[in-house]
Amino acid sequence: MNVTITPPDQLQAEGGFSFKYGDEAIFFDRTPRTEGISRILIKVHPDCRVRVSAPVHATDDEVLAAVKKRGRWIYLQLKEFKAQLAHITPRQYISGESHYYLGKQYLLKVIEAPNETQGVKLLRGKLEVSVRKKSSSKVKALLEDWYKAKSKEVFARRLDAMLDQALWVDERPPIRILTMQTQWGSCSPNGRLTLNPQLVKSPRECIDYVILHELCHIAEHNHGEGFYRLMKQVMPNWEVVKVRLDGMAATLLNGF
């Protein structure tokens, strides 16, 4: 398929950028990259947003040329995520729903208990949520708190395990838990890891992959050859694990 680029002046007038792949218009946002990084990074998120991170000095024409070069890949990524989203039913937080934890599915059981403490328990293959009065918003809030608490425990354990492989890390980095719509994790310039609590819904190897990915950024701050060489050393099958996590992303990020 041929790729055509919408003129930059027209796009900026509309508040964004777009290009056409075949007959389909694909829109994307441009965000600035960390100073000193020269590469243009293109990401397609599970909610079908396309984000292009580019150095401040890169012209719009250069950004559009980079997007044009990856047009087929962007189109196929969007096609895959749209197919996933088409089969996702919005959460209602009622008994009988299926929710994930550490890669396994658990049935949700909502129990109305006016005189008992409200909370979440994982019992006999079910996620039991006790509420004083049945309310979808309350069940959602309790589940959100439970996932965040579990993520702190699980991520701390997996970080300790991954540090045995990350020999370049001198001190145990601090972890921040933050719900994000389009990221599993990030690493700040001073080495603090930020992890998405919804990652705790994924299999352990996926959690390990994200933690190792961010630990590699302590040594390699961008996605250059050195970064991928380091990832290959500590997790030879990281690409397979990434594909697995990407395939679950639309489902796992569909709210708590």
Both 15 and 118 in one domain: the answer is: no
Write the pLDDT tens digit of every residue in 44-85: 887 788 889 888 888 888 999 999 889 999 988 888 877 776
Both 67 and 182 in one domain: the answer is: no
Domain of 152, in residue numbers? 98-252
Our count of domains for the chain comes to 2
What distance in Å separates the CA atoms of residue 239 and residue 243, rounded to the nearest whole number?
6
* Per-residue pLDDT, 47: 75
Both 144 and 242 in one domain: the answer is: yes
What percent of the chain has pLDDT above 70?
A: 89
Write the pLDDT tens digit of every residue in 119-151: 999 988 899 999 999 899 999 999 999 999 999
CATH number at residue 118: 3.30.2010.10
Query: Is the residue at 67 inside a domain?
Result: yes
Helix pair angle (204-219, 225-234), 10° resolution: 140
Query: Is the residue at 17 inside a domain?
Result: yes
Write the pLDDT tens digit of every residue in 11-49: 443 446 888 888 788 888 888 876 666 788 898 887 788
Both 195 and 230 in one domain: the answer is: yes
Query: Is the residue at 91 inside a domain?
Result: no
Confidence category of residue 183, pLDDT binned at 50, 70, 90: confident
Phi and psi (nearest 5°) for 47? Answer: -85, 10
Both 245 and 140 in one domain: the answer is: yes
Both 159 and 247 in one domain: the answer is: yes
The single-letter DSSP state of residue 173 is: P
Mean pLDDT of 232-240: 94
